[in-house]
């Protein structure tokens, strides 16, 4: 039976937001006016004020501008790459790019989960030197599928195998397409090995930003965003002078319920949330598009990637999904990146940056603006999408709070798809988990603490049940 936590009119009463305020009320937040909570620093607990520009903030991957190293030359011969999550959506699209550009890229290592049939086909086509399968029980099945292959790759099972793929000595760039915090350890291993990261795993920064970013700076590693919105921003900041970035504008389709009155949300079912108007995606991300949690989490990711203050990151609903995101410069100019909705373009740019690779019109249709009837925009509704307020509040709290929000949302979406909770309960589960975590917030977490609180948030969220008022109670 689904929990019955909130009606649309009750959404504004979220306790985590009452203490942290919403995005629309943060124009004068900055260093003063944050919400009180207890933070744990180096084993000590102290009452502090949340600071959006605190010294604990990690250095951004790209501080408002992107400039290639002086003396950069294009890679001579095919650039060697590793792919973590080769049988997923990001991995298969990356391999499509490699297949179309064999003179530009070659695959040296692949890591997959359990899709042995597809992995075997990828091995036969791209001939990697090293392969990993997360599910160790499937190794014999993979070896049998490769029995007729003349030159067989080395196979290392389990988590250690994924790490070895990520830090393969020949790889220059590692595509991180594995989902969830499972992608954190291999990404860290790749960074420590000096590999540039084609970032498609959101948890790397949303949960791991406070740890990963200083590590990337230490090893002089580039983190290149492979999702469409952050790639658009990354493309727009190319060559900007220092201090030129004024504002980041993330575009959102609005998801399945963008035209639905907020009063109707309590009636929606799983099948309704999975009807995305523009994209054909997996269930989780499609539900995230409906709740706009995907965009709230992208706000956090944009903060970590580009160093923009949360006051300077906006969300706008753009139903056509042609403008993938925009920036505003100090002189009020707006720069945007446009294109058909196609994830291959941002993936390609992470692999080729700072170069641009010619693409055939047959497989990469060019954008014809004259065929578009219009491009429209509107402000998102904070009542319909309370995920935005949750994300801004979690982002300002920083530390482990952002990973907790992401993990709680993931667990809530999983329960919603399984019809264990209702649609509006997704927001409540995330909010209650963040509220509970305030007393344990770690501002400068280790990798172990990031993983610990990710697991804690999933467990806490999965055991919530309705109690009197707004307080959670464990089953």
CATH class assigned to 255-291+381-462: mainly alpha
pLDDT, residue 76, reads 79
State which fold the 79-236+338-371 domain adopts. Answer: Rossmann fold (3.40.50)
Other CB atoms within a 10 A radius of the CB of residue 26 amount to 20
Report strand pairing: 464-465 vs 473-474: antiparallel
Give the pLDDT confidence score for residue 197 in this predicted structure.
Answer: 97
Give the bridge partners for 326, in sequence order.
249, 336
Q: What is the pLDDT of residue 278?
A: 65
**Predicted pLDDT at 430:** 97
Q: For the chain, what is the largest distance between any 2 Cα atoms, rounded to a whole number of angstroms?
A: 67
In 294-414, the DSSP E strands lie at 313-317, 323-329, 334-338
CA-derived radius of gyration, the chain: 22
Quickly count: other Cβ atoms within 10 Å of residue 355's Cβ. Answer: 13
Q: Across the 475 residues of the chain, what is the mean pLDDT of every consecutive 10-residue run?
A: 44 52 34 33 35 62 89 77 95 96 97 95 97 93 94 94 97 91 90 97 92 97 96 97 97 92 93 77 86 97 97 97 97 97 94 93 90 93 95 97 96 95 95 96 95 96 66 37
User: Who contacts 32 (Cβ-Cβ below 8 Å, separation ≥6)?
Assistant: 49
Domain boundaries, the chain: 79-236+338-371, 255-291+381-462
Residue 58: DSSP 8-state: P
């Amino acid at each position: 039976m689904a929990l019955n936590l909130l009606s649309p009119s009750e959404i504004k009463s979220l306790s985590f937001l009452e203490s942290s305020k919403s995005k629309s009320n943060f124009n004068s937040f900055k260093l003063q006016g944050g919400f009180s909570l207890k933070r744990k620093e180096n084993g000590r607990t102290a009452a502090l004020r949340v600071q959006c520009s605190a010294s604990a903030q990690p250095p951004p991957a790209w501080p408002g501008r992107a400039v290639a190293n002086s003396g950069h030359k294009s890679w001579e011969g095919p650039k060697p790459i590793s792919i973590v999550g080769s049988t997923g959506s990001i991995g298969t699209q990356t391999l499509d790019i490699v297949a179309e550009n064999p003179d530009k890229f070659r695959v040296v290592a692949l890591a997959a989960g359990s899709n042995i049939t597809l992995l075997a086909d990828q091995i036969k086509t791209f001939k990697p030197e090293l392969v990993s399968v997360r599910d160790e029980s499937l190794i014999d099945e993979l070896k049998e599928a490769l029995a007729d292959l003349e030159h067989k790759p080395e196979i290392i099972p389990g988590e250690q195998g994924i790490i070895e793929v990520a830090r393969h000595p020949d790889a220059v760039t590692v595509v991180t397409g594995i989902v969830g915090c499972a992608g954190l350890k291999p990404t860290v291993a790749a960074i420590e090995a000096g590999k540039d990261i084609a970032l498609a795993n959101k948890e790397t920064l949303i949960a791991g930003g406070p740890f990963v970013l200083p590590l990337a700076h230490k090893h002089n590693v580039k983190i290149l965003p492979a999702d469409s919105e952050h790639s658009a921003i990354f493309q727009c900041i190319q060559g900007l002078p220092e201090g030129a970035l004024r504002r980041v504008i993330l575009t959102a389709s609005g998801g399945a319920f963008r035209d639905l009155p907020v009063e109707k949300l309590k009636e929606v079912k799983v099948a309704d949330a999975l009807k995305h108007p523009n994209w054909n995606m997996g269930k989780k991300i499609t539900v995230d598009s409906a709740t706009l949690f995907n965009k709230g989490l992208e706000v956090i990711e944009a903060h970590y990637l580009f160093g923009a203050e949360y006051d300077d990151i906006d969300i706008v609903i753009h139903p056509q999904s042609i403008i993938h995101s925009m920036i505003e410069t100090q002189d009020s100019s707006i720069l945007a990146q446009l294109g058909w909705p196609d994830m291959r373009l941002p993936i390609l740019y992470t692999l080729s940056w700072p170069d641009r690779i010619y693409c055939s019109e047959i497989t990469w249709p060019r954008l014809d603006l004259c065929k578009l009837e219009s491009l429209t925009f509107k402000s998102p509704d904070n009542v319909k999408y309370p995920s935005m307020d949750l994300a801004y509040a979690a982002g300002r709290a920083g530390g482990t709070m952002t990973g907790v929000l992401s993990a709680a949302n993931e667990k809530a979406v999983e329960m919603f798809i399984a019809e264990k909770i209702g649609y509006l309960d997704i927001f409540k589960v995330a909010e209650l988990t963040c509220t509970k975590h305030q007393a344990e917030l770690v501002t400068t977490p280790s990798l172990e603490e990031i993983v610990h609180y990710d697991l804690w948030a999933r467990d806490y969220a999965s055991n919530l049940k309705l109690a009197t008022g707004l307080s959670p109670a464990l089953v």
